[in-house]
Amino acid sequence: MVPEAIKIAIQSELNIKLTSGELLHGGDINQAAKIDSDSGDRFFLKWNTSAPSDMFKVEANGLVLLDSALTDLIIPEVVLVGDDFLLLEFIEEANSGSSSDFGIQLAKLHKKTNELFGLDHSNYIGRLPQQNKYHNDWLEFFVRERLEPQVKLAIDSGKLPVQLANIFERVMNYTYVVFPEEPPALLHGDLWGGNYMFTADGKTCIYDPSVYYGHREMDLAMTRLFGGFDSDFYQGYNEVYPLQKGFEERSKLCNLYPILVHANLFGGHYVRQAESLLKRFF
């Protein structure tokens, strides 16, 4: 099940024997398993033998950064990382939990701030590269580091028409949407319903991040894109860090980014959705 080379690397690095494993899902990007060892420890292992060699390393960095915010969110501890695998502490899932507390803890995460928007290294969103060059201004960051690279990729692969290439040329005032001025917030960066779980010890675990310091409305908008977050979650969030007026409209612009990413990864109706949002906002 687990490639022999990865098994050998883990066993020799940690000086343990992996005793049994159970495949967790046939994800479209990586494979994942629950692994037991003779040390009594249980691990979560994900691997991908054709992943870019830094993909799991930057994911591990992201988890460590999220953990440094010292919220009550559970962030799986990184045990070992290699070019083609990531070994984490195994988190036991519960069927239900407190969405309100999840909202409160996410708001606390978003209070962790930074002088600039961005991050000191690039990472990935899904399997696509995500650049994080620092900017002072959120809209500038959003356009240059998020929208532009995805639009370019979509044009280069023939998904979007080449006429869209200059859509971001008019610097500033490209859009009628104005984001409220807020400090850069530490974001999970890919917060859809499949990237969190309630845990057996009554908390919420977030994983599979694409972290950076951004506008917090990016994380909140993403929670709306595919569902999986109830009203208690938003109520809890707003108790700690209230969203400002106009979020509804801005969230559609925020979600242009994940929609472009989906257009590049999966094509289909995401391409049409991306194109109509680009025309609407720019």
Cβ count near 24 (within 10 Å): 14
Element (DSSP H or E) covering residue 32: strand 31-37
Q: Which member of 56, 85, 90, 102 binds ligand ADP (CB under 6 A)?
A: 90
Active-site residue flag, 41: no
What is the Cα gyration radius of the chain? 19
Distance CA 124, CA 211 (A): 9
- Residue of 55, 66, 87, 88 interacting with ligand ADP (CB under 6 A): 88
Closer to ligand ADP at the Cβ: 46 or 262? 46
Q: Which range of residues in 1-9, 24-32, 166-174, 246-254 is near ligand ADP by CB under 6 A?
A: 24-32
Q: 247-254 vs 256-266: helix axis angle to the nearest 10?
A: 30
With the C-alpha atoms ordered 158, 162, 167, 171, is the resulting torsion angle positive or negative?
positive
User: Does residue 44 bind ligand ADP (CB under 6 A)?
Assistant: yes
User: How far apart are the two ends of the chain, measured CA to CA in Å?
Assistant: 48
Looking at beta carbons only, is 58 or 151 nearer to ligand ADP? 58
CB contact burial 186-208 (16+ within 10 A = b; e otherwise)? bbbbbbbeebbbbbeeebbbbbb
Q: Which of 194, 242, 246, 268 binds ligand ADP (CB under 6 A)?
A: 194
| Cβ at position 127, least distance to ligand ADP in Å | 9
Specify the DSSP class assigned to residue 68. T
Nearer to ligand ADP, 63 or 278 (CB): 63
Instruction: Examine residue 63 and tell whether it contacts ligand ADP (CB under 6 A).
Output: no
156: Cα separation from own chain's centroid: 24
Total chain residues near ligand ADP (CB under 6 A): 18
Q: Which of 101, 208, 219, 275 binds ligand ADP (CB under 6 A)?
A: 208
- Tell me which of 17, 22, 27, 193 binds ligand ADP, using CB under 6 A: 27
Q: How far is the C-alpha of 13 from the C-alpha of 71, rounded, in Å?
A: 30
Question: Which of 84, 101, 190, 219 is an active site residue?
Answer: 190
- Identify the residue among 62, 76, 103, 236 touching ligand ADP (CB under 6 A): 76
Residues of this chain that interact with ligand ADP (CB under 6 A) are 24-25, 27, 29-30, 32, 44, 46, 76, 88-91, 194-195, 197, 207-208
Q: Which residues are catalytic?
A: 190
